[in-house]
Amino acid sequence: MDYSHAGYKGGGVELPTVRMARTIRPVAGDNTTHIQNAIDQVAALPHDADGFRGAVVLEPGTYDVAGSLKISASGVVLRGSGSGDGGTLIRAIGPPHRFIEIAGTGSWEPIGKAATITDRFVPSGARAFNVNDASSLRVGDRILIQRPVTDAWVRFMGMDTLVRDGKPQTWIKAGTLITTDRTIAAIAGSRLTLDVPLSDSFDATYLNPPGTTVVKFAFPGRIEQIGVERLRVTVPAQDKPISESQYTLLRMNAISDAWVRDVVSVDTHNSTTFGSTVRRITVENVHIRHTTPFTAPAAPADFALSGTQILLDRSSVSGQGVWPVVTQAGVTGPNVVLRFKSDGAGVAPHQRWATGLLVDSSEFTGGTEQRPNIAFSNREYAGSGHGWSVGWAVAWNVKADYVLIQQPPGAINWCIGCSGRPTSILWHGNPIPLPRIPSDTFESPGIPVSPPSLYLAQLAERLSSR
């Protein structure tokens, strides 16, 4: 598929520098209220023609923070004075907590009657399809493409026989809808063309009835034009199970067109979470550092991706015992991990069918057969039935120690121009045969291909065609 639409404003748009609206200095003791008051003051200002109210600028110094900050209005930026020495240091004190929550309210609100896709098969990467009735739809409408989970599809995927400790496990419950957030770019009769390609295929053999539907929606509580940038966050180092409270960096949800850049976070666990209603986000030069290895059985994840059109660029994770990048359940791309580095594990889609993930021009060390640097796989009954974790995923010019690339029924995962030893990992005692190399899955093994970056090449091609 065309991955170039990942990122702020749909990719290829420079991150803005927003004018300063408030400047504050650190105060003695807890600075939570001090910073939050400045955020709330800027949130009350009118926004400009570009949708920005202004930036809260934290002058150089150390800010002790005992509670969570929140941005819940559009057009607000929290900007430090640099993530390095002499810049802005946020020092977490008190019980474990999240540094900042960035979230609107509510979720998608369907409008009117849904139309049904009439094509027998729509491939991954397609931008157009036919519906039974397009009369109520208009160019520019925001729509949800709702792909049903059916018993027939679950059986086709081989996910109807998961058992753990003698008990059946549910991969994805029949009746669930996997939603894709898009905009109508063109209409010709009953044929709709989208602004961004679809990341999954739609096969009526397994999805009808009830069939895949398209419905217009509103999302009045979703916020946009928000940034966090140029600061360092440190927390007390700890090694305890993720079932206990953790210090985390940030969470986003119900948000579109936002960014996080030039941020360093030291010793946070489950550091960043991007929820299912996130859209068009750029995470750039965000570096997670761990000074203490994590030894509990269930490892935390530093970049947990849901939502769509997320670009994770020139970022890194260092430290042992954590998952640097995961995807969650029912995630629809394009989502891109670009020029990423990690010295322990790598990118491991976690559970229940994410689609449209690209890992591009990235470098991973510290992988093992049991914790490969790239894992596009069937996790079977891991967790509570994680099953097939990802389909239509690409590793492109990735340097790794170990890679695990499996092929889901009806989908393809690729490893192109990648180094790394294919693992013979045993999932719960079931051997996975080593793949044939080279093959349609493993192309140009150990030899980088041209272009060096798939994402950047697709972006250049798309922008030049405007």
pLDDT (tens digit, 9 = 90+) per residue, 276-328? Answer: 999 999 999 999 999 999 998 788 999 999 999 999 999 999 999 999 999 99
Domain covering 8-105+222-464, topology:
Pectate Lyase C-like (2.160.20)
Each residue's pLDDT tens digit, 385-421: 899 999 999 999 999 999 999 999 999 999 999 999 9
Tokens standing for 58? 């934290």
pLDDT at residue 440 in the model: 82
* Each residue's pLDDT tens digit, 161-199: 998 888 999 999 999 999 999 999 999 999 999 999 999
Give the pLDDT confidence score for residue 429 in this predicted structure: 62
Cβ-contact 148, 177 below 8 angstroms: yes
Residues 175/280/265/267 CA torsion (nearest 10 deg): 10
Of 286, 232, 224, 225, residue with least CA distance to 80: 232
Task: Identify the segments of the chain with pLDDT beneath 70.
Answer: 426-430
Reference 65, options 92, 39, 47; nearest CA is 92
The pLDDT of residue 314 = 98
Question: What pLDDT does residue 397 have?
Answer: 98
Tell me the HSE value of 429 on the side-chain side, using a 13 A CA sphere: 2
Cβ contact 302:322 at 8 Å: yes
* Amino acid letter, residue 62: T
Q: What pLDDT sits at residue 439?
A: 85
pTM of this prediction? 0.97
For residue 69, which of 238, 217, 249, 237 has the smallest C-alpha distance? 249
Looking at residue 197, its amino acid is P
Average pLDDT value for the chain: 95
Question: Which residues does 415 contact at the CB level (< 8 Å), separation at least 6?
Answer: 374, 395, 398, 403, 405, 441, 442, 443, 445
